[in-house]
Chain A
Amino acid sequence: MANFQLDHKTKTDKYSYKAKKGLSRKLVEEISRQKKEPEWMLTTRLQALDQYLKMPIPAWGADLSQLNFDDLYYYLKPIEKPYQTWSDVPPAIREVFEATGVPQAERAMLAGVGSQFDSEVIYHSLQKTLAKQGIVFLSMDEGLKQHEEIVREYFGKIVPYGDNKLAALNSAVWSGGSFVYIPRGVEVKLPLQAYFRINSEKAGQFERTLIIAEEGSSVTYVEGCSAPAYSSASLHAAVVEVIVKERARVRYTTVQNWYKSVYNLVTKRAIVEKDASMEWVDCNLGSKVTMKYPSCVLRGERAHGSMLSIAVAASGQHQDSGAKMIHLAPQTTSEIVSKSISKGGGRSSYRGQVLISPQATGARSRVVCDALILDPESRSDTYPDNRILSGDATLEHEAYVSKINEEQMLYLRSRGLSVSEAASLIIRGFLEPIIQELPMEYAVELNRLVKMEMVGSVG
């Protein structure tokens, strides 16, 4: 399991290529040239760059005024090629990973582990049996090389570069991320895992992930994030696109523990076809500012979308997260369950939308937001937007903000628990419905992180 004392202190200066600070047309061309990309990808990148320069920074949500886009490194390349086995990885890089527990995860017989070290995926493996079934799990760069036709068909179709400024930025300078392709009818029993890290000061990380689940297939994808301790702000602006075809099922789990100087501005969206199901599980613990609203576009009849999320906002943090469910077809269903904890002056906001279009007859949606505020300095907001444009759709929404329940506290204390033990138990109970949906090692990690975050915060 990860050793978090080491985790945020290990850094490396060994890069085989480090671009100058700031963004330029030349840099975008250089990235594409280094990656030996096809012409159409370079064209897409340059169009996205023009779009990025035209679009304003979002004026709503969290405060982004402290983020200086010119003071970032947009491309860092630690080593030349992805490694196939763990022993090939250089010791300096390996040390960072050993501190975060990736090899242990590998030993635990996980289906495949892909790790992103700044901009390039340096370590990639997939069990041979899975590869035989036709499952593809590669870095996005390799995916583009080996499966150009598939990438060309879907890249930027779910999240176009004009979607928002950060998506445009990602489309211009993207590097790394995962490419996952699950053939028709194939069920991947074990979760596919990727571990992302930002390791250089003032680095921007712009990974791009594309997941395609063909008809009747199913897969669980897990990403975990952590970044070492640096004082100046780093930016993480990922784009994740998921296509869930008929009767397929995709679950995308994120455990985000970026260091508390990182701006985490991510666009995630899934297109869900007939009888298919998309589940987001999203845990936000780290970062200075997170703005992330994973969406499901429920395009086929009876498609289902769900979101389970946890946000913990401590001192200096603003977690502005939520979900979007867009119902476009009849009998589609969605569910959002969001839990947040604010403490030490932190601020957590739930911001979500449920849109039921006139075509989505008989659609149903349920939204539940619960928030705990642990001290008088902290703040919690709920901003849901429910647009029901079909007269025979149903929506239920409830939200609740409170402090730790006094009766529960009193009961536990009467049984001999200290104030902080009792509080920690209540908080774990509050988060339990979501933590139990995580893979075991992430559940243990999250429980530990929450416990660490809670030390000294109550009582």
Chain B
Amino acid sequence: MNKIIKKYNRPGKWEVVVPFEKIGEERSWVGIIDGRQVGEYDLRVVAEHRVKQTKGRITVKAVVGKGATVKIFGRIVIAKEAQESDSFLQLRVLMLDKTAKAIATPELMIAANNVQASHGASIGQIDSVQLLYLMSRGLSKNKAIDIVIDGFLMIQ
């Protein structure tokens, strides 16, 4: 599957449309928001299935630091003509600080019946078990947090 990865590590506003215009087209789009700087990060992604037998995978991963706000709007549109399409939208947010704010709005607009469309959104904190493990291996807390974030955001 054709895969595109976009990284956003400064506050800003972005709009992305992922169109499906060829029969049988498959696309995967990954957005990575590193929101460790103070400010507002605003991302809109729309997957538009206009013809049949298309397959889409949209993933947005974000970390939200002190004083940062991350807004993610994701929408799957499956037109009446786009039967037998399969689409999944995933929004995953890690909150790094009490003052972090996240607004996740995943929408589905489905006008065909023979399709699969779903979305999932999760907003949570760093797993304390992972942190404890890394710290038990001698890493400082900050270093451990950085490693977990890098793993989560798939930064190498």
Closest to B96 in A: A391
Shortest Cβ distance from A370 into B: residue:
B118
Check A384 against B107 for contact (C-beta < 8 Å): yes
Contact indicator B113/A399 (Cβ below 8 Å) = no
Contact: A397 with B121, CB < 8 Å? Answer: yes
Determine if A384 and B105 form an interchain contact, defined as CB atoms under 8 angstroms apart: yes
Q: For chain B, residues 113 to 152, give those with C-beta under 8 angstroms from any C-beta of chain A.
A: 113-125
The size class of the interface chain A forms with chain B is: 20 to 34
- Complexed CA–CA distance, A375 and B115 (Å): 11
| B46, chain A: closest CB distance, angstroms | 14
Residues on the A chain within 8 Å of B111, using CB: 379
A361→B98 contact, CB < 8 A: yes
Complex CA–CA separation, A435 to B155 (angstroms): 46
- Of chain B, the residue at the smallest CB distance from A351 is B107
Kindly state the interface size class of chain B when it binds its partner: 35 or more
Q: Is B97 an interface residue (CB 8 A)?
A: yes
Name the residue of chain B whose CB is nearest to the CB of A390: B98
Cβ of A456 under 8 Å from chain B: no
Q: Which residue of B lies closest to A397 (CB)?
A: B121
Contact across chains for B118 and A399 when beta carbons are under 8 A apart: yes
Nearest CB of B to A173, in Å: 36
Considering the chains assembled together, what is the distance between the CA atoms of A263 and B124 in angstroms? 39
Indicate if the CB atoms of B124 and A382 lie closer than 8 Å.
no
Which of A69-77, A145-153, A211-219, A400-408 is the contact stretch? A400-408
Q: Smallest Cβ distance from B97 to chain A, in angstroms?
A: 5
Provide the residues of chain A in CB contact with B96, threshold 8 Å: 391
**B21 to chain A: closest CB distance in Å?**
20
A448: interface (CB < 8 Å): no
Residues of A near B122 (CB, < 8 A) are 394-397
Known contacts A398-B119, A402-B117, A388 near B110 by CB under 8 Å: no
Residue ID in chain A nearest B95 by CB atoms: A391
Complex: A206 Cα to B97 Cα, angstroms: 47
Q: Which residues of B contact A384 (CB under 8 A)?
A: 105-107, 121
Would you list the 3 A-B pairs with minimal beta carbon distance, nearest first? A391-B100, A373-B113, A397-B121
Using a CB–CB cutoff of 8 Å, the interface residues on chain B facing chain A are 64, 80, 83, 93, 95-125
List 7 A-B pairs, Cβ < 8 Å. Answer: A379-B110, A381-B107, A383-B105, A395-B122, A399-B118, A400-B117, A400-B118
